[in-house]
Structure 1
Amino acid sequence: MSFDESRVSTVTFDSYSTLVDVEAAEKALAARVDDPEPVSRLWRSRSLEYTFVGNQVDVYEPFYAVNRDALQYALDAHGVDVSEDEREEILAVYHELDVFDDVREGIERLRDAGYDTYVVSNGNPEMLESMVAHADIGDLLDGVVSAHEVEVFKPDAELYRHAAARTGTPIDEIAHVTAAWFDVFGAQHAGMQGVWVNRKDTPWEPFGDDPDLTVDGFEELVARLDGA
């Protein structure tokens, strides 16, 4: 698909892996787990699987609780025994994830170019409040939209439509920026333009449509939108 920057008035951003780096979760595991990488990988994948299944069977828990369940499964699956206090310390890393270097300047330049900017995330409000504060981007955002407001997760179209209503923007005037392939699909299915941030230079999924736009970071995103 082709990206039409002339239609964009609002830019929405996913949070985890798009604005902030979730790889810190592995570091939090490292002090407590001999081989943290497979535990971390299973934790992240199971967390997403729980949201996908929850959407289909009408089961909702706030994302922090979903993340807790997924972490417990990953620890159990790898035979790792940690105390409840240690588990909570590992989970707490999601309140202090490092922001990618290009994020603040990128959003600031988009704001200067006249775009409204929002976060649209699976994270529950408490997680997103701490993420925005830790990333120091609160002054650059017009708002934050949480899946908790409608109790469905990405890529359900209801969340994207709710985000459009919250931003006061026709849905086809929104460019949704995300590092997650399923989030690109969800945004496109709902009527937004989907922008894939491919920070790790990985191949796109062979399943489904291509993103409307692929960028390697926020600098390339700004170059495409600034002056449109």
Structure 2
Amino acid sequence: MFDPEQVTTVTFDSYGTLVDVDAAERALAERVENPEPVSKLWRARSLEYTFVANHVDAYQPFYEMNRDALQYALTANDADISERERDEILAVYHELDVFDDVRDGIRRLRDGGYDCYVVSNGNPEMLDSMVEHADIGDLLADTISADEIGTFKPDAELYRHAAGRVGTPIQAIAHVAAGWFDVQGAKHAGMQGVWANRKGKSWEPFGDEPDLTVETFHELAEELDV
């Protein structure tokens, strides 16, 4: 159950939460005849690689994970494109469109007294370009990358590292994410988990429920009475 009285800090995931990764499928469509299965496999493998990396000590920056996952998806679907074209598709991650509610929603939270951070699997270069392209740098206190400790979500170590970095008791942090595994990871580590359900999906039957579900950041601001 969401407890707004405890919250002093809000952290946000990046991809799918602040910015729309569907642009990557559009980039694929310009170069691949049947982009949908490639896009789905790319996203799934990218996450799977991070999950496995946490357990076999095979960390590499997320951009490289994403590149390897894209190459696998292209090969598995017999999509024969050049390395240069693959890298052009990957480059879309540096200029993804921000969701309409993000800037005004984060401003409401910040103006209401809440420190706002990004906690992401993305490596620092990816996060820098995302923040710049989304034009939210003036609203965030900082970005925190998995690269800092070489551990991906949903490992509790990353959320605990984030709490230490921001200097806030972990139970006073509300973590907002579109990914179900990210919400559950944050809750397991001791944060309050807020699911940004932007696409009207059903929650997973596995694991804990979110403490709060919102469609936009404005709904979170209303829950926090700002």
Structures share fold, TM-score greater than 0.5: yes
Separation in structure 1 between the aligned mates of residue 206 and residue 83 of structure 2, nearest angstrom: 39
- 1:52 equivalenced with 2:51 (yes/no): yes
- 1:90 equivalenced with 2:89 (yes/no): yes
Give the secondary structure class of the aligned counterpart of 1:207.
coil
Code of the residue aligned with 2:7 in structure 1: it is V
Residue equivalent to 2:212: 213
Give the secondary structure class of the aligned counterpart of 1:118.
strand
Q: Deviations over 1:150-174 (max 9, x none)?
A: 0000000010000001111000000
Residue equivalent to 2:144: 145
Code of the residue aligned with 1:218 in structure 2: it is F
Give 1:222 shift.
Answer: 1.0
Code of the residue aligned with 1:105 in structure 2: it is D
| 8 Å Cα contact 1:110-1:226 kept in structure 2 | no
Give the secondary structure class of the aligned counterpart of 2:144.
strand
Give 1:225 shift.
Answer: 1.1
Residue equivalent to 1:19: 18
Residue equivalent to 1:164: 163
Give 1:31 shift.
Answer: 1.0
Q: Which moved more, 1:131-140 or 1:209-218?
A: 209-218
Residue equivalent to 1:128: 127
- 1:108 equivalenced with 2:107 (yes/no): yes
Separation in structure 2 between the aligned mates of residue 112 and residue 79 of structure 1, nearest angstrom: 50
Residue equivalent to 1:9: 8
Residue equivalent to 1:63: 62
Give the secondary structure class of the aligned counterpart of 1:145.
strand
Separation in structure 2 between the aligned mates of residue 10 and residue 160 of structure 1, nearest angstrom: 13
Code of the residue aligned with 2:222 in structure 1: it is A
Aligned-residue RMSD, C-alpha: 0.6
Separation in structure 1 between the aligned mates of residue 49 and residue 83 of structure 2, nearest angstrom: 21
Question: Where does structure 1 differ by over 6 angstroms across 4 or more consecutive aligned residues?
Answer: none
Separation in structure 2 between the aligned mates of residue 79 and residue 63 of structure 1, nearest angstrom: 24
Q: Deviations over 1:72-97 (max 9, x none)?
A: 00000000111111111000000000
Separation in structure 2 between the aligned mates of residue 54 and residue 42 of structure 1, nearest angstrom: 18
Give the secondary structure class of the aligned counterpart of 1:138.
coil
Unaligned runs of 5+ in 1: none
Give 1:198 shift.
Answer: 0.5
Return the TM-score normalized by structure 2: 0.99
Q: Deviations over 1:48-82 (max 9, x none)?
A: 00000000111101000000000000000000111
Identity %: 73
Residue equivalent to 1:223: 222
Separation in structure 2 between the aligned mates of residue 216 and residue 26 of structure 1, nearest angstrom: 22
Give 1:226 shift.
Answer: 2.6
Give 1:100 shift.
Answer: 0.1
Separation in structure 2 between the aligned mates of residue 151 and residue 213 of structure 1, nearest angstrom: 29
Code of the residue aligned with 1:131 in structure 2: it is M
